Chains A and B, each alone.
Chain A
């Protein structure tokens, strides 16, 4: 039987990859996908703890994370499309209108 540590270690590795992607990459689309990666690693941790405590609440929270992730992607991608229309780029280094 696979222990909880294996799942939690996988979750931690995926979260680290996602965080590194958000910090290192400059393409807004890839940053978004890295955020999805982090959300998924947290979902894996939730499901693991739901299994460990035999509590269905962890799986219910994964449902809510899925819903929020879907809405976040819809709004975020609409923003990226809008930025691309006005500035012809999705490189976040070029979107510096608020820089003082």
Chain B
């Protein structure tokens, strides 16, 4: 039963990941990224992480990808990259390095895999995550708010047009 949900989601995620990396146009990359994020949200649901799945859809798909799309439209970048590949046989070298890297990652990650225990009632709900967040992780939680404020200020400052004839920034 879980396989019937996991396999399509995993296939979509891998296809979307290839799309992000291989697409010619940034817009197509953004749409492929959206597919990856949605299928990962599905896998989170299977993994009893419903709150994280909702966050994934709201924050990643709802905010981050929309931001990417806004910037892509704002910049109106000319399509495609220049043909110049500076290194000879770059694609072959990249594929070889990626394969070796994947093998190392698989060895490391699969070695840590254990059988799943049964899920207790209420694991991964907003209540459970919120209780852990505000009990054991209160200081990082508050620091995250500060980081967000700093990010907003930085974005406003960077996005400001330099005043005409002024001293700039």
A and B: real partners? yes
Is B36 touching A14 in the complex (CB atoms < 8 A)?
yes
Is B113 touching A82 in the complex (CB atoms < 8 A)?
no
Is A16 touching B101 in the complex (CB atoms < 8 A)?
yes
Per-position contact with A for B9-50: 1 when CB-CB < 8 Å, else 0?
010011001101101001001100100110010011011110
Q: Does A3 contact B (CB under 8 A)?
A: yes
Q: Does A73 contact B (CB under 8 A)?
A: yes
- Complex: chain B residue closest to A61, CB-CB: B137
A11 to chain B, nearest CB (A): 7
List, in ascending order, chain B residues with CB within 8 A of A40's CB: 36-37, 40, 60
Number of chain A residues close to chain B: CB under 8 A: 71
- Complex: chain B residue closest to A40, CB-CB: B40
Given contacts A12-B102, A16-B101, A21-B21, contact A56 B123 (CB under 8 A): yes
Q: Give the docked Cα–Cα distance between A90 and B81 (Å).
A: 10
Is A81 touching B71 in the complex (CB atoms < 8 A)?
yes
Is A43 touching B116 in the complex (CB atoms < 8 A)?
no
Q: Give the docked Cα–Cα distance between A81 and B154 (Å).
A: 13
- Complex: chain A residue closest to B157, CB-CB: A78
A-B contact pairs, 16 of them (CB 8 A): A1-B116, A8-B112, A9-B110, A14-B14, A24-B94, A36-B33, A37-B21, A54-B119, A59-B52, A59-B132, A67-B144, A68-B144, A70-B63, A77-B71, A80-B75, A82-B159
